[in-house]
Chain A
């Protein structure tokens, strides 16, 4: 450990000052704008925002979709992570590679693929008509289901990866021990595995939840103006209505939700270190 404070600050300050000027200051000013009206501080922008039923719908939808994607990705994530952890080291590495792969592909490309799959003449509709389950193309695009599927594919890898590392850090004999003592698989999961992998679940959950809340491309492409989420609503408020106050309110809501999730994560992480 070096002791020279001036030297340390000279090394660290350029980055901090840069981030403060280019990032922190403009964002703080933007957020403050939502609390100013007629030269005084007030919450009127927030009451106006939430008095519009459309805004309330969008807010609840964003929250609901975020939660649904998180819960479903946790369920699928556990199943996939189990399957991967039990493989031989070689195929485990390959499977992890396949899980990571989509993260390297632009989310525009990944989301765009769902148009080919879910569109009017997409694979799903062709298959449904071929087997005679439906006579006309069913509308999947621009529905909440499409946005949900797109978000799930986008963020599931993050959940699987954190659950894999949580499962690998679990004591190897915990599960056989519980089985020998007579626990069924249901009990094993809820009484042994879940408590021991809670932290990985929280990390994965935070990443998926904040990711889903703040995704722009997926709701923009798969939801369009029919299924607005907070991010697409913000964009629309600015570009269509020039309403910067509403934009500031939405920005504040998004930041609060994403900070709350991250704070929870930090809490849980430090709780483990103390133990």
Chain B
């Protein structure tokens, strides 16, 4: 139905443009040379191995993991009840609440980071790790609400009304009837939140200092000092981690339905 000239060539070029750089990163990280180069000079796993020995990478990886898992879990603890209230109740100021909760997605992250540094960390002397945790929770909250709301909207609300009519408490109906039905939506929200939090830079930019750094920020500052392929190797490893997580999620949950 469309001109034949478009299809194969255009698609090849576009996909190449989108994916090509990723293969180059992988190839460059397998190089035996001293500096980042493509085509790789010889084959070696030395830079991949080096990633695991750099101490700051280990520390920042642990911090990023903690923030991504903890922040996403906290966002779900706040977000699931809010989504439920927004979709099932006549909520006073419902639209206002929805807007406030989804704002962090619209406001550029660097501004959030700076605002938190200036008005939370400095005046209240709040711990940096705790502030990072709060920031990542706020960042993931809109995604959690959006994905969980989508799966709640796909679920008929009369089943929990039926459970309540049959004598279950409201909470009992939620945990025994609603939760099992939106479990995959919650998992999808968790994965999306994890990947978003783990890969995000601007929010953490101002909140990272010596000692406490997320992994992407650590990679940025490492790149300023050295030009060796270890950041390429780390990038490739992280990319495979994200792809693996998303692939499994898609495979078992049909993840893309919610995003």
A interface residues with partner B (beta carbon < 8 Å):
1-5, 7-9, 11-16, 18-20, 22-27, 29-30, 76, 79-80, 82-84, 86-87, 95, 98-102, 104-110, 112-117, 119, 121-123, 152-153, 156-157, 160, 175-176, 185, 210, 213-214, 216-217, 220-221, 231, 234-235, 238, 244, 247, 251, 254-255, 258-259, 262
Contact = CB atoms under 8 A, between A and B. Distances in A.
Interface stretch (B9-17, B48-56, B179-187): B9-17
A16 B145 CA distance: 11
B243 A104 contact: yes
A12 B19 CA distance: 41
A182 B104 CA distance: 49
Nearest to A77: B14
B3 A262 contact: no
A133 to B, nearest CB: 19
Interface of B: 1-3, 6-8, 10-11, 14-15, 17-19, 21-22, 24-25, 28, 36-38, 78-79, 81-82, 84-86, 88-92, 94, 96-97, 100-101, 103-104, 106-112, 114-116, 118-120, 134-135, 137-138, 141, 145, 157, 161, 170, 195, 198-199, 201-202, 205-206, 216, 219-220, 223, 231-232, 235-236, 238-239, 242-243, 246, 256
Nearest to B139: A23
11 contacts: A1-B90, A22-B116, A29-B119, A83-B7, A102-B18, A104-B246, A109-B22, A112-B235, A119-B36, A122-B38, A251-B111
Q: Is the interface of B mostly helix, strand, loop or mixed?
A: helix
Given A15-B82, A106-B216, A23 B18 contact: no
B21 A110 contact: yes
Contact of A254 (B38, B108, B135): B108
B13 to A, nearest CB: 9
Contacts of B11: 80, 83-84, 95
Contacts of A114: 21
Contact of A26 (B7, B78, B81, B116): B116
Contacts of A25: 119
Contacts of B101: 15-16, 19
Q: Which 4 interchain pairs have the tightest Cβ spacing?
A: A109-B235, A113-B21, A8-B89, A26-B115
Contact of B82 (A11, A160, A214): A11
Nearest to A97: B250
B100 A16 contact: yes
Contact of A12 (B97, B223, B231): B97
Nearest to B1: A175
A3 B91 CA distance: 8
B152 to A, nearest CB: 12
A115 B36 contact: yes
Contacts of B109: 214, 216
A112 B223 contact: yes
B238 A106 contact: yes
Contacts of B97: 12-13, 15-16
A244 B19 contact: no
Contacts of A7: 85, 89, 170
B37 A216 contact: no
A11 B81 contact: yes
Given A5-B89, A175-B2, A105 B22 contact: yes
